[in-house]
Structure 1
Amino acid sequence: MSKVHPSAIVDPKAELDSTVEVGPYSIIGPDVRIGAGTVVGPHVVIEGHTTIGRDNRIFQFASLGAAPQDKKWAGEPTRLEIGDRNTIREFCTFNLGTVQDAGVTRLGDDNWMSAYTHLAHDCQVGSNTIFSNNAQLAGHVHVGDWAILSGYCGVHQFCKIGAHAFIGMYTSLTQDVPPFVLVSGNPAEAHGVNIEGLKRRGFTREQINAIRTAYKTIYRSGLTLEEAKARLAEEEAAAGDAAQHIRALRDFLDNASRGIVR
Protein backbone atom coordinates (compact mmCIF):
# COMPACT_ATOMS: atom_id res chain seq x y z
CA MET A 1 0.00 0.00 0.00
CA SER A 2 1.08 3.58 -0.66
CA LYS A 3 2.20 5.59 2.37
CA VAL A 4 -0.76 7.95 2.63
CA HIS A 5 -1.18 10.15 5.68
CA PRO A 6 -4.55 9.58 7.39
CA SER A 7 -5.57 13.19 6.85
CA ALA A 8 -4.95 13.06 3.07
CA ILE A 9 -7.89 12.51 0.72
CA VAL A 10 -7.08 10.12 -2.13
CA ASP A 11 -9.94 9.17 -4.44
CA PRO A 12 -10.33 5.37 -4.64
CA LYS A 13 -10.08 5.56 -8.43
CA ALA A 14 -6.66 7.24 -8.36
CA GLU A 15 -3.76 4.97 -9.33
CA LEU A 16 -0.78 5.30 -7.01
CA ASP A 17 2.22 2.99 -7.02
CA SER A 18 2.74 1.18 -3.72
CA THR A 19 5.89 3.24 -3.05
CA VAL A 20 4.22 6.65 -3.40
CA GLU A 21 4.11 8.82 -0.28
CA VAL A 22 1.34 11.38 0.30
CA GLY A 23 1.63 13.97 3.07
CA PRO A 24 -0.97 15.40 5.42
CA TYR A 25 -4.04 17.16 4.03
CA SER A 26 -3.16 16.57 0.39
CA ILE A 27 -5.98 15.87 -2.07
CA ILE A 28 -5.65 13.54 -5.07
CA GLY A 29 -8.48 13.22 -7.60
CA PRO A 30 -9.92 10.16 -9.37
CA ASP A 31 -8.13 10.58 -12.72
CA VAL A 32 -4.62 10.90 -11.27
CA ARG A 33 -1.83 8.35 -11.79
CA ILE A 34 1.46 8.58 -9.86
CA GLY A 35 4.54 6.43 -10.47
CA ALA A 36 6.96 4.68 -8.16
CA GLY A 37 9.01 6.60 -5.65
CA THR A 38 7.21 9.93 -6.02
CA VAL A 39 6.75 11.89 -2.79
CA VAL A 40 3.78 14.26 -2.48
CA GLY A 41 4.19 16.72 0.38
CA PRO A 42 1.49 18.17 2.65
CA HIS A 43 -1.35 20.38 1.40
CA VAL A 44 -0.82 19.47 -2.28
CA VAL A 45 -3.79 19.30 -4.66
CA ILE A 46 -3.48 17.03 -7.71
CA GLU A 47 -6.58 16.83 -9.89
CA GLY A 48 -7.75 16.48 -13.48
CA HIS A 49 -6.42 13.84 -15.87
CA THR A 50 -2.88 14.06 -14.48
CA THR A 51 -0.09 11.52 -14.93
CA ILE A 52 3.07 11.84 -12.84
CA GLY A 53 6.10 9.59 -13.38
CA ARG A 54 8.73 8.13 -11.08
CA ASP A 55 10.80 9.65 -8.29
CA ASN A 56 9.35 13.15 -8.34
CA ARG A 57 9.41 15.34 -5.24
CA ILE A 58 6.38 17.60 -4.94
CA PHE A 59 6.54 20.14 -2.13
CA GLN A 60 3.76 21.61 -0.05
CA PHE A 61 0.98 23.78 -1.47
CA ALA A 62 1.57 22.88 -5.13
CA SER A 63 -1.50 22.76 -7.41
CA LEU A 64 -1.22 20.32 -10.31
CA GLY A 65 -3.84 19.55 -12.95
CA ALA A 66 -6.30 22.34 -12.21
CA ALA A 67 -8.56 23.69 -14.93
CA PRO A 68 -6.82 25.92 -17.48
CA GLN A 69 -7.13 29.65 -16.98
CA ASP A 70 -8.75 29.95 -20.39
CA LYS A 71 -12.32 31.09 -20.90
CA LYS A 72 -12.66 28.74 -23.89
CA TRP A 73 -12.21 25.65 -21.74
CA ALA A 74 -15.55 23.87 -21.35
CA GLY A 75 -14.63 20.93 -19.16
CA GLU A 76 -13.05 18.77 -21.86
CA PRO A 77 -10.92 15.86 -20.52
CA THR A 78 -7.57 17.44 -21.28
CA ARG A 79 -4.38 16.37 -19.53
CA LEU A 80 -1.26 17.21 -17.57
CA GLU A 81 1.74 14.90 -18.00
CA ILE A 82 4.80 15.10 -15.73
CA GLY A 83 7.82 12.88 -16.31
CA ASP A 84 10.41 11.48 -13.90
CA ARG A 85 12.74 12.87 -11.23
CA ASN A 86 11.36 16.40 -11.22
CA THR A 87 11.59 18.70 -8.21
CA ILE A 88 8.42 20.79 -7.91
CA ARG A 89 8.70 23.33 -5.13
CA GLU A 90 6.17 25.26 -3.08
CA PHE A 91 3.14 26.93 -4.69
CA CYS A 92 3.84 25.72 -8.24
CA THR A 93 0.75 25.78 -10.47
CA PHE A 94 0.62 23.53 -13.55
CA ASN A 95 -2.67 23.55 -15.48
CA LEU A 96 -4.34 21.13 -17.89
CA GLY A 97 -4.17 21.59 -21.65
CA THR A 98 -6.97 22.71 -23.96
CA VAL A 99 -8.57 21.25 -27.07
CA GLN A 100 -7.49 24.36 -28.98
CA ASP A 101 -3.94 22.96 -28.84
CA ALA A 102 -2.54 19.47 -28.20
CA GLY A 103 -4.87 18.96 -25.26
CA VAL A 104 -1.97 18.35 -22.89
CA THR A 105 0.48 20.34 -20.79
CA ARG A 106 3.82 18.49 -20.49
CA LEU A 107 6.85 18.63 -18.23
CA GLY A 108 9.71 16.27 -19.11
CA ASP A 109 12.32 14.69 -16.83
CA ASP A 110 14.89 15.99 -14.34
CA ASN A 111 13.54 19.53 -14.16
CA TRP A 112 13.98 21.87 -11.20
CA MET A 113 10.84 23.98 -10.76
CA SER A 114 11.32 26.55 -8.02
CA ALA A 115 8.62 28.09 -5.86
CA TYR A 116 5.68 29.88 -7.50
CA THR A 117 6.51 28.79 -11.05
CA HIS A 118 3.53 28.57 -13.38
CA LEU A 119 2.94 26.38 -16.44
CA ALA A 120 -0.22 27.55 -18.15
CA HIS A 121 -2.33 25.40 -20.44
CA ASP A 122 -0.62 23.56 -23.31
CA CYS A 123 2.93 24.47 -22.31
CA GLN A 124 5.53 21.95 -23.45
CA VAL A 125 8.66 21.92 -21.27
CA GLY A 126 11.55 19.59 -22.06
CA SER A 127 14.04 18.00 -19.67
CA ASN A 128 16.86 19.26 -17.44
CA THR A 129 15.48 22.79 -17.29
CA ILE A 130 15.73 25.13 -14.31
CA PHE A 131 12.92 27.55 -13.46
CA SER A 132 13.84 30.00 -10.71
CA ASN A 133 11.28 31.47 -8.32
CA ASN A 134 8.25 33.05 -9.98
CA ALA A 135 9.20 32.17 -13.57
CA GLN A 136 5.86 32.31 -15.37
CA LEU A 137 4.75 30.78 -18.67
CA ALA A 138 1.56 31.87 -20.40
CA GLY A 139 -0.35 29.38 -22.54
CA HIS A 140 1.13 27.38 -25.43
CA VAL A 141 4.79 28.18 -24.60
CA HIS A 142 7.47 25.66 -25.63
CA VAL A 143 10.74 25.40 -23.68
CA GLY A 144 13.64 23.26 -24.91
CA ASP A 145 15.94 21.00 -22.91
CA TRP A 146 18.50 22.55 -20.55
CA ALA A 147 16.97 26.03 -20.75
CA ILE A 148 17.23 28.21 -17.65
CA LEU A 149 14.58 30.77 -16.69
CA SER A 150 15.66 33.20 -13.98
CA GLY A 151 13.47 34.60 -11.26
CA TYR A 152 10.37 36.68 -12.07
CA CYS A 153 10.70 36.35 -15.83
CA GLY A 154 7.42 36.32 -17.74
CA VAL A 155 6.88 34.59 -21.08
CA HIS A 156 4.12 35.64 -23.49
CA GLN A 157 1.78 33.00 -24.89
CA PHE A 158 2.94 31.00 -27.93
CA CYS A 159 6.60 31.91 -27.42
CA LYS A 160 9.32 29.31 -27.93
CA ILE A 161 12.56 29.09 -25.97
CA GLY A 162 15.29 26.98 -27.53
CA ALA A 163 17.49 24.38 -25.87
CA HIS A 164 20.33 25.71 -23.69
CA ALA A 165 18.93 29.26 -23.76
CA PHE A 166 19.21 31.47 -20.67
CA ILE A 167 16.52 33.99 -19.71
CA GLY A 168 17.66 36.67 -17.27
CA MET A 169 15.93 37.83 -14.11
CA TYR A 170 12.82 40.03 -14.53
CA THR A 171 12.87 39.55 -18.31
CA SER A 172 9.65 40.27 -20.20
CA LEU A 173 9.70 37.90 -23.15
CA THR A 174 7.33 38.45 -26.07
CA GLN A 175 9.33 36.81 -28.89
CA ASP A 176 11.09 33.49 -29.42
CA VAL A 177 14.60 32.86 -28.08
CA PRO A 178 16.86 30.71 -30.29
CA PRO A 179 18.87 27.84 -28.78
CA PHE A 180 22.06 28.76 -26.89
CA VAL A 181 21.19 32.47 -26.65
CA LEU A 182 21.26 34.55 -23.46
CA VAL A 183 18.56 37.22 -23.24
CA SER A 184 17.47 39.67 -20.57
CA GLY A 185 15.67 42.95 -20.12
CA ASN A 186 12.28 44.55 -20.64
CA PRO A 187 11.91 44.44 -23.55
CA ALA A 188 14.19 41.44 -23.92
CA GLU A 189 17.48 41.82 -25.75
CA ALA A 190 20.08 39.24 -26.79
CA HIS A 191 23.39 39.38 -24.94
CA GLY A 192 25.47 36.64 -26.50
CA VAL A 193 25.77 32.88 -26.14
CA ASN A 194 25.17 30.95 -22.92
CA ILE A 195 28.82 29.90 -22.92
CA GLU A 196 29.08 28.95 -19.25
CA GLY A 197 26.07 26.67 -19.54
CA LEU A 198 27.50 24.97 -22.62
CA LYS A 199 30.83 24.38 -20.87
CA ARG A 200 29.08 22.79 -17.92
CA ARG A 201 27.27 20.41 -20.28
CA GLY A 202 30.44 19.22 -21.98
CA PHE A 203 30.40 21.18 -25.23
CA THR A 204 33.86 21.28 -26.77
CA ARG A 205 35.76 24.46 -27.55
CA GLU A 206 35.19 23.83 -31.27
CA GLN A 207 31.45 23.40 -30.80
CA ILE A 208 31.18 26.56 -28.71
CA ASN A 209 33.20 28.55 -31.26
CA ALA A 210 30.91 27.35 -34.06
CA ILE A 211 27.85 28.40 -32.04
CA ARG A 212 29.40 31.80 -31.33
CA THR A 213 30.07 32.27 -35.05
CA ALA A 214 26.45 31.40 -35.78
CA TYR A 215 25.31 33.90 -33.16
CA LYS A 216 27.38 36.64 -34.80
CA THR A 217 25.87 35.74 -38.16
CA ILE A 218 22.35 36.22 -36.80
CA TYR A 219 22.95 39.20 -34.53
CA ARG A 220 26.09 41.07 -35.58
CA SER A 221 26.54 40.64 -39.32
CA GLY A 222 23.99 43.20 -40.49
CA LEU A 223 22.29 40.53 -42.59
CA THR A 224 18.53 40.15 -42.79
CA LEU A 225 17.23 37.07 -41.04
CA GLU A 226 16.73 35.27 -44.35
CA GLU A 227 20.27 36.13 -45.42
CA ALA A 228 21.58 34.97 -42.05
CA LYS A 229 19.76 31.66 -42.38
CA ALA A 230 21.37 31.11 -45.77
CA ARG A 231 24.81 31.76 -44.33
CA LEU A 232 24.10 29.41 -41.44
CA ALA A 233 23.55 26.64 -43.97
CA GLU A 234 27.07 27.26 -45.25
CA GLU A 235 28.45 27.31 -41.69
CA GLU A 236 26.72 24.03 -40.90
CA ALA A 237 28.41 22.34 -43.84
CA ALA A 238 31.81 23.34 -42.45
CA ALA A 239 31.04 22.87 -38.75
CA GLY A 240 32.28 19.30 -38.25
CA ASP A 241 31.00 17.82 -34.99
CA ALA A 242 29.17 21.10 -34.28
CA ALA A 243 26.97 20.67 -37.36
CA GLN A 244 24.10 19.18 -35.35
CA HIS A 245 23.97 22.29 -33.15
CA ILE A 246 23.97 24.69 -36.10
CA ARG A 247 21.25 22.56 -37.69
CA ALA A 248 19.19 22.80 -34.49
CA LEU A 249 19.58 26.57 -34.60
CA ARG A 250 18.49 26.70 -38.25
CA ASP A 251 15.48 24.47 -37.59
CA PHE A 252 14.42 26.72 -34.71
CA LEU A 253 14.62 29.83 -36.89
CA ASP A 254 12.55 28.11 -39.58
CA ASN A 255 9.81 27.35 -37.05
CA ALA A 256 9.83 30.51 -34.93
CA SER A 257 6.23 31.52 -34.34
CA ARG A 258 6.53 35.06 -32.98
CA GLY A 259 9.77 36.25 -34.52
CA ILE A 260 12.98 36.06 -32.52
CA VAL A 261 14.47 38.41 -29.95
CA ARG A 262 16.92 40.31 -32.16
Structure 2
Amino acid sequence: MAEVAVHPSAVVEPGAVLGDGVEIGPFCHVGAQVRLDDGVVLKSHVVVTGDTRIGAETTVFPFACIGEAPQDLKYRGEPTVLRIGARNRIREYVTINPGTEGGGGRTIVGDDGLFMAGSHIAHDCRIGNNVILVNNVAIAGHCVIDDEVIVGGLSGVHQFVRIGRGAMIGAVTMVTADVLPYALVQGPRGQVDGLNLVGLKRRGAGRAELAALRQLMSALSGGSLRETARARAAGEVSPMEREVLDFILAPTERSFLAPQA
Protein backbone atom coordinates (compact mmCIF):
# COMPACT_ATOMS: atom_id res chain seq x y z
CA MET A 1 0.00 0.00 0.00
CA ALA A 2 1.41 3.36 -1.06
CA GLU A 3 1.26 6.14 1.48
CA VAL A 4 -0.92 9.21 1.05
CA ALA A 5 1.07 12.45 0.78
CA VAL A 6 -0.68 15.68 1.78
CA HIS A 7 1.24 18.94 1.76
CA PRO A 8 1.02 20.83 5.07
CA SER A 9 -0.59 23.84 3.37
CA ALA A 10 -3.40 21.75 1.81
CA VAL A 11 -6.86 21.50 3.39
CA VAL A 12 -8.57 18.10 3.38
CA GLU A 13 -11.94 18.28 5.09
CA PRO A 14 -13.01 15.47 7.45
CA GLY A 15 -15.00 12.88 5.52
CA ALA A 16 -12.95 12.99 2.34
CA VAL A 17 -11.76 9.54 1.21
CA LEU A 18 -8.22 9.24 -0.13
CA GLY A 19 -7.03 6.08 -1.87
CA ASP A 20 -3.57 4.54 -1.75
CA GLY A 21 -0.80 6.72 -3.14
CA VAL A 22 -2.86 9.89 -3.44
CA GLU A 23 -0.74 13.04 -3.60
CA ILE A 24 -2.20 16.43 -2.63
CA GLY A 25 0.10 19.35 -3.32
CA PRO A 26 0.43 22.83 -1.85
CA PHE A 27 -2.66 24.97 -1.23
CA CYS A 28 -5.19 22.41 -2.50
CA HIS A 29 -8.67 22.18 -0.97
CA VAL A 30 -10.51 18.84 -0.90
CA GLY A 31 -14.13 18.84 0.29
CA ALA A 32 -15.81 16.51 2.76
CA GLN A 33 -17.77 14.52 0.15
CA VAL A 34 -14.86 13.99 -2.22
CA ARG A 35 -13.36 10.60 -3.01
CA LEU A 36 -9.96 10.39 -4.70
CA ASP A 37 -9.15 6.89 -5.92
CA ASP A 38 -5.71 5.27 -5.84
CA GLY A 39 -2.87 7.27 -7.34
CA VAL A 40 -4.76 10.53 -7.93
CA VAL A 41 -2.43 13.54 -7.97
CA LEU A 42 -3.54 17.11 -7.26
CA LYS A 43 -0.53 19.21 -8.25
CA SER A 44 -1.17 22.47 -6.36
CA HIS A 45 -3.88 25.13 -5.85
CA VAL A 46 -6.56 22.63 -6.94
CA VAL A 47 -10.12 22.77 -5.58
CA VAL A 48 -12.16 19.55 -5.54
CA THR A 49 -15.52 19.87 -3.85
CA GLY A 50 -19.11 18.58 -3.80
CA ASP A 51 -20.09 14.94 -4.20
CA THR A 52 -17.19 14.24 -6.53
CA ARG A 53 -15.24 11.08 -7.26
CA ILE A 54 -12.04 11.12 -9.31
CA GLY A 55 -10.80 7.83 -10.74
CA ALA A 56 -7.44 6.18 -10.24
CA GLU A 57 -4.23 7.71 -11.59
CA THR A 58 -5.89 10.91 -12.72
CA THR A 59 -3.69 14.00 -12.48
CA VAL A 60 -5.17 17.45 -11.86
CA PHE A 61 -2.95 20.43 -12.61
CA PRO A 62 -2.78 23.79 -10.80
CA PHE A 63 -5.81 26.07 -10.44
CA ALA A 64 -8.36 23.57 -11.73
CA CYS A 65 -11.76 23.72 -10.01
CA ILE A 66 -13.62 20.41 -9.95
CA GLY A 67 -17.13 19.82 -8.58
CA GLU A 68 -18.11 23.39 -7.75
CA ALA A 69 -21.78 24.44 -8.12
CA PRO A 70 -23.17 24.43 -11.69
CA GLN A 71 -23.41 27.68 -13.64
CA ASP A 72 -27.17 27.30 -13.98
CA LEU A 73 -29.56 29.87 -12.52
CA LYS A 74 -32.09 27.08 -11.85
CA TYR A 75 -29.67 25.32 -9.51
CA ARG A 76 -30.74 25.75 -5.89
CA GLY A 77 -28.11 23.74 -4.07
CA GLU A 78 -29.80 20.35 -4.48
CA PRO A 79 -27.48 17.35 -3.99
CA THR A 80 -26.01 16.26 -7.32
CA VAL A 81 -22.85 14.39 -8.31
CA LEU A 82 -19.76 14.47 -10.50
CA ARG A 83 -18.03 11.25 -11.50
CA ILE A 84 -14.67 11.34 -13.28
CA GLY A 85 -13.00 8.17 -14.53
CA ALA A 86 -9.43 6.90 -14.44
CA ARG A 87 -6.18 8.13 -15.95
CA ASN A 88 -7.46 11.52 -17.00
CA ARG A 89 -5.20 14.55 -17.36
CA ILE A 90 -7.01 17.67 -16.21
CA ARG A 91 -4.85 20.67 -16.97
CA GLU A 92 -4.57 24.18 -15.57
CA TYR A 93 -7.75 26.24 -14.97
CA VAL A 94 -10.12 23.47 -16.11
CA THR A 95 -13.63 23.63 -14.60
CA ILE A 96 -15.97 20.63 -14.40
CA ASN A 97 -19.40 21.02 -12.77
CA PRO A 98 -21.74 18.43 -11.24
CA GLY A 99 -25.29 17.84 -12.47
CA THR A 100 -28.55 19.61 -11.75
CA GLU A 101 -31.89 18.23 -10.66
CA GLY A 102 -33.46 19.16 -14.00
CA GLY A 103 -30.75 17.35 -15.96
CA GLY A 104 -30.70 14.08 -14.05
CA GLY A 105 -28.30 15.16 -11.33
CA ARG A 106 -25.11 13.63 -12.75
CA THR A 107 -22.13 14.79 -14.76
CA ILE A 108 -20.10 11.83 -16.01
CA VAL A 109 -16.57 11.91 -17.45
CA GLY A 110 -15.00 8.69 -18.77
CA ASP A 111 -11.44 7.37 -18.73
CA ASP A 112 -8.19 8.45 -20.39
CA GLY A 113 -9.26 11.97 -21.33
CA LEU A 114 -7.07 14.99 -21.88
CA PHE A 115 -8.72 18.25 -20.89
CA MET A 116 -6.34 21.06 -21.77
CA ALA A 117 -5.91 24.39 -20.04
CA GLY A 118 -9.02 26.49 -19.57
CA SER A 119 -11.51 23.96 -20.92
CA HIS A 120 -14.95 23.70 -19.32
CA ILE A 121 -17.43 20.83 -18.91
CA ALA A 122 -20.82 22.05 -17.72
CA HIS A 123 -23.56 20.41 -15.71
CA ASP A 124 -25.25 17.15 -16.72
CA CYS A 125 -22.79 16.36 -19.51
CA ARG A 126 -21.72 12.84 -20.43
CA ILE A 127 -18.16 12.68 -21.71
CA GLY A 128 -16.84 9.38 -23.10
CA ASN A 129 -13.43 7.73 -23.03
CA ASN A 130 -10.30 9.03 -24.78
CA VAL A 131 -11.82 12.46 -25.34
CA ILE A 132 -9.55 15.45 -25.98
CA LEU A 133 -10.70 19.00 -25.30
CA VAL A 134 -8.07 21.45 -26.49
CA ASN A 135 -7.37 24.77 -24.75
CA ASN A 136 -10.40 26.92 -23.85
CA VAL A 137 -13.06 24.58 -25.24
CA ALA A 138 -16.48 25.19 -23.67
CA ILE A 139 -18.96 22.31 -23.45
CA ALA A 140 -22.39 23.60 -22.42
CA GLY A 141 -24.87 21.75 -20.22
CA HIS A 142 -26.54 18.46 -21.09
CA CYS A 143 -24.13 17.62 -23.93
CA VAL A 144 -23.11 14.08 -24.85
CA ILE A 145 -19.58 13.66 -26.19
CA ASP A 146 -18.92 10.08 -27.26
CA ASP A 147 -15.61 8.18 -27.17
CA GLU A 148 -12.53 9.37 -29.07
CA VAL A 149 -13.86 12.82 -29.92
CA ILE A 150 -11.41 15.71 -30.34
CA VAL A 151 -12.63 19.29 -29.95
CA GLY A 152 -10.22 21.93 -31.25
CA GLY A 153 -9.12 24.96 -29.28
CA LEU A 154 -11.45 27.90 -28.61
CA SER A 155 -14.48 25.93 -29.80
CA GLY A 156 -17.91 25.95 -28.19
CA VAL A 157 -20.58 23.25 -28.06
CA HIS A 158 -24.21 24.35 -27.57
CA GLN A 159 -26.28 22.79 -24.78
CA PHE A 160 -28.00 19.45 -25.52
CA VAL A 161 -25.75 18.76 -28.52
CA ARG A 162 -24.48 15.23 -29.12
CA ILE A 163 -21.14 14.55 -30.79
CA GLY A 164 -20.74 11.01 -32.10
CA ARG A 165 -17.80 8.72 -31.62
CA GLY A 166 -14.59 9.55 -33.43
CA ALA A 167 -15.72 12.98 -34.65
CA MET A 168 -13.29 15.87 -34.83
CA ILE A 169 -14.21 19.52 -34.33
CA GLY A 170 -11.77 22.04 -35.82
CA ALA A 171 -10.46 25.00 -33.86
CA VAL A 172 -12.60 28.12 -33.33
CA THR A 173 -15.82 26.33 -34.28
CA MET A 174 -19.28 26.87 -32.80
CA VAL A 175 -21.25 23.62 -32.79
CA THR A 176 -25.00 24.17 -32.56
CA ALA A 177 -26.34 20.83 -33.83
CA ASP A 178 -25.59 17.11 -33.45
CA VAL A 179 -22.40 15.84 -35.09
CA LEU A 180 -22.42 12.42 -36.74
CA PRO A 181 -19.85 9.80 -35.68
CA TYR A 182 -16.52 10.14 -37.51
CA ALA A 183 -17.45 13.50 -39.06
CA LEU A 184 -15.00 16.37 -39.47
CA VAL A 185 -16.60 19.70 -38.56
CA GLN A 186 -15.05 23.14 -38.86
CA GLY A 187 -15.92 26.77 -39.47
CA PRO A 188 -17.21 29.73 -37.43
CA ARG A 189 -20.62 28.06 -37.52
CA GLY A 190 -19.62 24.43 -37.83
CA GLN A 191 -20.34 22.50 -41.03
CA VAL A 192 -19.52 18.91 -41.85
CA ASP A 193 -16.44 18.88 -44.06
CA GLY A 194 -16.07 15.18 -44.78
CA LEU A 195 -14.81 12.37 -42.57
CA ASN A 196 -12.26 12.47 -39.78
CA LEU A 197 -9.89 10.35 -41.87
CA VAL A 198 -6.93 10.68 -39.50
CA GLY A 199 -8.98 9.42 -36.58
CA LEU A 200 -10.51 6.60 -38.60
CA LYS A 201 -7.12 5.39 -39.80
CA ARG A 202 -5.80 5.48 -36.24
CA ARG A 203 -8.67 3.21 -35.29
CA GLY A 204 -7.67 0.76 -38.01
CA ALA A 205 -10.44 1.44 -40.53
CA GLY A 206 -9.55 -0.17 -43.86
CA ARG A 207 -10.22 1.01 -47.40
CA ALA A 208 -13.51 -0.83 -47.68
CA GLU A 209 -14.79 0.69 -44.44
CA LEU A 210 -13.70 4.19 -45.48
CA ALA A 211 -15.34 3.78 -48.89
CA ALA A 212 -18.58 2.64 -47.25
CA LEU A 213 -18.58 5.63 -44.90
CA ARG A 214 -17.91 8.03 -47.77
CA GLN A 215 -20.81 6.55 -49.69
CA LEU A 216 -23.05 6.85 -46.64
CA MET A 217 -22.11 10.50 -46.11
CA SER A 218 -22.87 11.20 -49.76
CA ALA A 219 -26.28 9.53 -49.44
CA LEU A 220 -27.05 11.56 -46.33
CA SER A 221 -26.27 14.86 -48.04
CA GLY A 222 -29.53 14.96 -49.97
CA GLY A 223 -33.14 14.92 -48.74
CA SER A 224 -34.29 14.09 -45.24
CA LEU A 225 -31.48 12.85 -43.03
CA ARG A 226 -33.72 10.65 -40.88
CA GLU A 227 -35.67 9.19 -43.81
CA THR A 228 -32.45 8.34 -45.61
CA ALA A 229 -31.03 6.82 -42.43
CA ARG A 230 -34.14 4.66 -41.89
CA ALA A 231 -33.95 3.36 -45.44
CA ARG A 232 -30.23 2.57 -45.18
CA ALA A 233 -30.65 0.96 -41.77
CA ALA A 234 -33.09 -1.57 -43.23
CA GLY A 235 -30.35 -3.01 -45.43
CA GLU A 236 -26.97 -4.60 -44.83
CA VAL A 237 -24.37 -2.14 -43.58
CA SER A 238 -20.92 -2.24 -41.99
CA PRO A 239 -20.47 -1.80 -38.21
CA MET A 240 -19.30 1.80 -38.57
CA GLU A 241 -22.17 2.65 -40.90
CA ARG A 242 -24.55 1.09 -38.39
CA GLU A 243 -23.06 3.31 -35.67
CA VAL A 244 -23.72 6.44 -37.75
CA LEU A 245 -27.27 5.36 -38.59
CA ASP A 246 -28.08 4.48 -34.98
CA PHE A 247 -26.80 7.90 -33.94
CA ILE A 248 -29.13 9.65 -36.41
CA LEU A 249 -32.16 7.60 -35.39
CA ALA A 250 -31.62 8.03 -31.62
CA PRO A 251 -33.68 10.62 -29.71
CA THR A 252 -32.16 14.10 -29.67
CA GLU A 253 -32.97 17.64 -28.56
CA ARG A 254 -31.14 19.19 -31.53
CA SER A 255 -31.04 19.14 -35.31
CA PHE A 256 -28.05 17.69 -37.18
CA LEU A 257 -25.03 19.08 -38.94
CA ALA A 258 -25.72 17.28 -42.22
CA PRO A 259 -23.02 16.37 -44.75
CA GLN A 260 -22.77 18.89 -47.57
CA ALA A 261 -23.74 17.85 -51.10
- Taking only aligned residues, the RMSD between alpha carbons, in angstroms, comes to 1.1
SS of match in other structure, 1:50: strand
The answer on whether the counterparts of 1:217 and 1:231 sit within 8 Å (CA) in structure 2 is: no
State the match for 1:214 in structure 2: 216
Aligned-pair CA distance for 1:80: 0.6
Within-5 A mapping of 1:140-155: 140-155=142-157
Deviations 1:213-252 (A, max 9, x none): 1111112xx2322332134225x50x3xxx2211211111
The answer on whether the counterparts of 2:93 and 2:117 sit within 8 Å (CA) in structure 1 is: yes
Q: State TM-score, norm by structure 1.
A: 0.94
State the match for 2:7 in structure 1: 5
State the match for 1:125 in structure 2: 127
**CA distance in 2 between partners of 1:32 and 1:209 (Å):** 48
State the match for 1:257 in structure 2: 253
The answer on whether the counterparts of 2:137 and 2:156 sit within 8 Å (CA) in structure 1 is: yes
Query: Which 4+ runs in 1 deviate beyond 4 A?
Result: none
Q: 1:202 aligns with which of 204, 207, 214?
A: 204
Q: State TM-score, norm by structure 2.
A: 0.95
The answer on whether the counterparts of 1:57 and 1:86 sit within 8 Å (CA) in structure 2 is: yes
State the match for 2:98 in structure 1: 96
State the match for 2:240 in structure 1: 245
State the match for 2:171 in structure 1: 169
Aligned-pair CA distance for 1:202: 1.4
The answer on whether the counterparts of 1:92 and 1:116 sit within 8 Å (CA) in structure 2 is: yes
State the match for 2:75 in structure 1: 73
Aligned-pair CA distance for 1:206: 1.6
Aligned-pair CA distance for 1:257: 2.4
Structure 1: tracts of 5 or more residues without a match:
none
SS of match in other structure, 2:103: coil
The answer on whether the counterparts of 2:230 and 2:249 sit within 8 Å (CA) in structure 1 is: no
Deviations 1:19-66 (A, max 9, x none): 100000000000000111111110000000000110001100000000
**CA distance in 2 between partners of 1:153 and 1:196 (Å):** 20
Deviations 1:111-170 (A, max 9, x none): 011000100000100000111001111100100000000000001110010000010111
* Amino acid in structure 2 at the alignment position of 1:120: A
Identity of aligned residues (%): 43
Deviations 1:180-219 (A, max 9, x none): 1011112111100001111012122222221111111112
Q: 1:18 aligns with which of 20, 32, 38?
A: 20
State the match for 1:225 in structure 2: 225
